[in-house]
């Protein structure tokens, strides 16, 4: 029988993991919703955030918070360069877009493997110590990560809903051709969206690596998981991606706690398949 402490552990740890998943999946669905780009290099941006942060700390001896900020900005800048050099020339060809972004992800993975090897690296924590909540001991870091995730998601919502640029992004996501007709620079909107998507992925990677470890093979794993979450939530729905992220977060932690880590991914993906059989468009998706 599952006791109260086990339930609290699943809720606290699941919320933290779900928050990190919400960052990477909302970035993935944001770029798809605006430009209809399936950015298969998104998982690479996720791990780049962690490895660039580690590199900055090693080479410049900066603290984890400063290194994280510099890292996500560097990944954002890299994503803009990648957009204009390799994505923009083929953006009207969906198959070519998938191919070039997947190729970019594989190149980044190889660079990381050649530089740091195949073994995981720990990302120095922003904060240490533990708290006892209703008898459950939880690292303070996890609570901080949850707060950062919620604050970032809230800031993203405010940006999209309350700023002029955010409203232009929303307009482009609903009708790109119509947005062009009313004078919106859609190419600029695509670039801004790529940048935001990349920094969300990079932030997610730095937070994830503080809980677990940075590993080059997480590039593919995180991409598959983010893609599954986005499909579950409904392609193009940021709200759906966020809700689905927390659902999967609780499932992952619950399965790991009760059955063991080897079952977590299998159970999560099986539940996603069942939900999609019942509702093929996802939780908040619509027929196109």
Residues 6+ apart with CB under 8 A from 168: 179, 184, 189
pTM of the model: 0.91
Closest CA to 112 of 201, 216, 210: 216
The average pLDDT across 60-66 equals: 92
Q: Is the pLDDT of residue 258 over 90?
A: no
Q: Which of 28-37, 53-62, 107-116 has the lowest mean pLDDT?
A: 28-37
| 8 Å CB contact between 153 and 196 | no
Span between the terminal Cα atoms of the chain, in Å: 45
Would you state the pLDDT for residue 121?
A: 87
Q: What is the pLDDT of residues 147-205, one digit of tens each?
A: 999 999 999 999 988 888 888 888 887 777 777 778 888 888 889 999 999 999 999 99
The predicted pLDDT at position 286 comes to 53
pLDDT value at residue 161? 86
Predicted confidence band at 94 (pLDDT cuts at 50, 70, 90)? confident
CB-based contacts of 2-6 (< 8 A; 24+ apart in sequence): 2/258, 4/134, 4/135, 5/134, 5/135, 5/136, 6/257, 6/258
Q: What is the pLDDT of residue 67?
A: 95
Backbone angles phi, psi at 236, to 5 degrees: 90, -5
CA distances (Å), 227 to each of 165, 233, 286, in order? 26, 10, 17
* Torsion, CA 147, CA 136, CA 268, CA 21, rounded to 10: 10
Q: Share the mean pLDDT of the chain.
A: 88
Q: Find the DSSP H helices in 121-279.
A: 140-162, 164-174, 176-181, 186-211, 218-233, 238-258, 264-278
| Segment 255-265 mean pLDDT | 84
Is residue 23 pLDDT above 80, yes or no? Answer: yes
Per-residue confidence (pLDDT) for residue 1, from 0 to 100: 60
Please report, rounded to a whole number, the percentage of residues in the chain having pLDDT higher than 90.
Answer: 42
Q: Find out whether 140 and 128 touch, Cβ atoms under 8 Å.
A: yes
pLDDT tens by residue, 108-151: 999 999 999 888 888 988 888 888 877 778 889 999 999 999 99
Residue 58 has pLDDT above 70, yes or no: yes
Share of the chain above pLDDT 70, in %: 98
pLDDT at 7: 86
């Amino acid at each position: 029988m599952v006791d109260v402490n086990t339930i609290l552990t699943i809720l606290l740890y699941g919320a933290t993991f779900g928050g990190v998943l919400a960052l990477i999946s909302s970035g993935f669905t944001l770029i798809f919703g605006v430009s209809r780009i399936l950015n298969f290099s998104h998982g690479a941006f996720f791990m780049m955030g962690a490895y660039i942060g580690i590199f900055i700390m090693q080479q410049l001896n900066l603290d984890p918070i400063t290194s994280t900020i510099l890292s996500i900005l560097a990944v954002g800048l890299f994503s803009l360069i990648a957009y204009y050099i390799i994505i923009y020339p083929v953006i009207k060809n969906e198959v070519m877009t998938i191919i070039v972004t997947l190729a970019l992800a594989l190149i980044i993975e190889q660079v990381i493997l050649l530089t740091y090897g195949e073994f995981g690296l720990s990302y120095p924590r922003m904060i240490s110590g533990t708290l006892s909540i209703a008898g459950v001991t939880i690292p303070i870091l996890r609570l901080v990560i949850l707060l950062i995730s919620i604050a970032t998601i809230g800031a993203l919502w405010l940006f999209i809903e309350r700023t002029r640029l955010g409203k232009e992004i929303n307009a482009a996501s609903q009708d790109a051709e119509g947005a062009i007709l009313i004078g919106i620079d859609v190419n600029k909107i695509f670039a801004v969206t790529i940048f935001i998507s990349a920094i969300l992925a990079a932030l997610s990677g730095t937070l994830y690596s503080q809980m677990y470890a940075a590993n080059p093979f997480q590039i593919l794993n995180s991409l598959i998981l983010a893609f599954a979450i986005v499909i579950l939530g409904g392609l193009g729905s940021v709200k759906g991606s966020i809700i689905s992220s927390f659902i999967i977060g609780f499932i992952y932690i619950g399965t790991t706690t009760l059955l063991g880590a080897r079952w977590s991914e299998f159970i999560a993906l099986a539940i996603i398949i069942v939900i999609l059989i019942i509702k093929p468009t996802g939780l908040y998706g619509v027929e196109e």
